[in-house]
Amino acid sequence: MAKGKPDWVMAKALFESGMSLRKIASVAFIDSSNIAKKAKVEGWKRTTELPQLIADGVSVQERFTTLELPQQKVVLDAINKQLSGMAFYQSHARKAVKLGFESFKTDPTPIGMKTVLDGMKSGMQVEGLVPFYPSATINNVNAQQTVTEEKKVLTLDEFYSGNP
């Protein structure tokens, strides 16, 4: 194994991508047995997502290089535009959700609420927060009561149409 500074961040990423311990050891400058031990202790998981993403990236790169330069520029400009839009929405999504809650106070009409909820839902999706409404469970130890109620997750359209 060549000498270099051990790179545990790289080792973990490579492990999770499915690379062999021997190959990780040569790239990250860490003994393979130490990688295996740390992976077990920290619960590193091998995924199918990263190898598939790598394969998809290679396929896209191969197709991209067959394009002529003006076409490559069009593709790159479109990608950069989408990425900058995503970055903007990610940085502003939480603010939109907070503003949505505040606007409930000023416009409690059904159409106003639908507009706000749609905006909040979009913000939560961009932020990576998937709306999840688990079963409601209430435990009241003092009154010795337990109430469990199953809730159906409604889409906003179902909610506002009145047809759940």
Q: pLDDT tens digits for 31-43?
A: 999 999 999 999 9
Average pLDDT over the chain reads 75
Confidence band, pLDDT 50/70/90 cuts, at residue 143 = very low
On the question of pLDDT at 132 being above 50, the answer is: no
Neighbours of 11 (CB within 10 A): 24
**Which range (42-46, 111-115, 145-149) has the least confidence?**
145-149
pLDDT at 136: 41
Joined tokens for residue 18: 């499915």
Nearest-5° Cα angle at 124, 119 to 130: 130
Average pLDDT over residues 87-111: 70
On the question of pLDDT at 20 being above 50, the answer is: yes
Domain ranges for the chain:
8-54, 67-161
Q: pLDDT tens digits for 51-73?
A: 888 888 899 899 989 999 999 99
Q: In the chain, which residue ranges form alpha helices assigned H by DSSP?
A: 8-16, 21-28, 32-42, 49-65, 69-106, 110-127, 156-161
Joined tokens for residue 154: 């409604």
Output DSSP code: residue 155: P
